[in-house]
A and B are shown apart, each in its own frame.
Chain A
Amino acid sequence: MIDLRLRKVLESDNTKMVLDLNLQFKKGQFITLYGESGSGKTSTLRLISGLMKPDSGHLSIGQQCWFDEDKKINLAPSKRKIGFVFQDYALFPNMTVKENLFFALSDKTDQGTIEELVQMMDLGDLQNRKPESLSGGQKQRVALARALVGKPEILLLDEPLSALDYKMRYKLQKYILKIHQRYKLTTILVSHDIGEIIKLSDLVFELENGKIARQGSPAELFGLGSTSAKFQFTGEIIQIESEDVLVIVTLLVGNDLVKVVCDKEEAKQFYLGDKVLVGSKAFNPIIKKI
């Protein structure tokens, strides 16, 4: 069981936000922190990793206490069994992929781990290349591999896929899920891509202004399973147009724009930018071979 009760006052420029967290979850789960920019998601990861020191509170992983203000415990980041994947990958530019991975090796772990990770993340051909010559997706795989060299128990991912295009995201999501299952990690992902969250997570915590506003399974939080419709996606309203006696709503679903017909009475509740669930019965769509 992971018990996180931390408090930190964050000051940046002229704004102040109080991060007041209270979350508990089981080890081995895939957790997502979801929320708007500035709601405290990255800061939460930094508190868990030890890169940022909380003002007060308690953080324990199972029987191990990593932080306790009263008991004056504050375990150094490297002693916490954590792998951290930064948003900008943070690969060392002066080292090749292989050297980046070896850098993460402390004396205790063996080289076999690196071999295995190279295989798993399909980095074989890239080993002697420097980060600047790699694509975004390749850099991300290296960052993931490097985070795993130390055999962490917890993997922290700070919006790792936000800079990638949809196709790359999809591929990387599969890698992330693969390593989560293979190494039996507790993974904490920061993301605001609902599709991604639904696909990967067991549990979602929604942060708002530094506090947990809601928590639950992705289905509970994002309204899936609220209808019998089998053909379901989440999308964002891009445009609402009146045509004839009905309304055509254009949605961004993943990387695709789709148009859906609506009754004008119904359309009154929709605004541009709304996140919606679009669903249809399995009986409706046509399938055609390409």
Chain B
Amino acid sequence: MNWIPIILTLKLSLITTLILFVLALPLAYWLSVTSSKIKAIVETLVSMPLVLPPTVLGFYLLLAFSPQNTFGAWLDQWLGLKFVFTFHGLVLASCLYSLPFMVHPLQSGLSSLPSSITEAAIMHGKSKFTILRKVLLPNIKPSVLTALVLTFAHTMGEFGVVLMIGGNISGKTKVASIAVYDEVEALNYGMANQYSLILIGLSFLTLLMVYLFNGGFFKQYLK
């Protein structure tokens, strides 16, 4: 059995989750505290990947980064970066695609904390970063876990975006979800089954972790 698609899938999900966590956290924080007039617009943009057909997203990414177009060509010439048909293209696409899954739980969690806690910390001279790290995040552990796990699981299940911008290159951009598609096309139902079952198993386990944690199952072990 060819494990590479599975490994690619896990690699993609992990890297996307980590990068998104770092990028989405400031955004989620800003959304939870701002009363700016552009908040609604930003929230809409963040939520778009939820409703857009993945292929649409993939298509425009393809156009944007294609070496035949100005932006793509510039990136290639000046930074040596190719986002089309490469693994890092997949990461970029996944970050956009899974953005709402990281932002929403974090934003929701941060909003649920009373503002007086942040203010009390400000009164003691702590920087925004320290407040986030020592006061806010520890108090929204369920939200953080949900955000991480949902992003991970969601990225695992990507198909349309990845196909568009990844190009289904074996060993590089053929992730497990695409591998399933390929095997079915080639009538290798056995292989397709193997990949599918693994994906189901992984999805189930990761989501189970979240619900168990939120339900307090791990409290006894964390004492």
Contacts and interface: CB of A to CB of B under 8 A. Distances in A.
A147 B124 CA distance: 9
Contact of B139 (A88, A92, A149): A92
Q: How large is the interface on A (under 10, 10 to 19, 20 to 34, 35 or more residues)?
A: 20 to 34
A78 interface: yes
Interface stretch (B41-49, B115-123, B142-150, B213-221): B115-123
Interface string B116-160: 110111111110000000110011000000000000000000000
Contacts, number: 53
Given A51-B119, A103-B134, A90 B114 contact: yes
B116 A86 contact: yes
A84 interface: yes
Contacts of A93: 139
A144 interface: no
Contacts of A146: 120
A92 B122 contact: no
A153 B62 CA distance: 62
B174 to A, nearest CB: 43
A146 B117 CA distance: 13
Nearest to A103: B124
Contacts of A31: none
A157 to B, nearest CB: 13
Contact of A92 (B117, B123, B125): B117
Nearest to B140: A94
Contacts of A269: none
A78 B123 contact: yes
A56 to B, nearest CB: 21
A83 B138 CA distance: 24
Interface of A: 49, 51, 76-79, 82-84, 86-88, 90-94, 103-104, 106, 146-147, 149-150
11 contacts: A51-B122, A77-B122, A78-B125, A83-B123, A84-B119, A84-B123, A90-B114, A92-B120, A103-B135, A106-B125, A150-B124
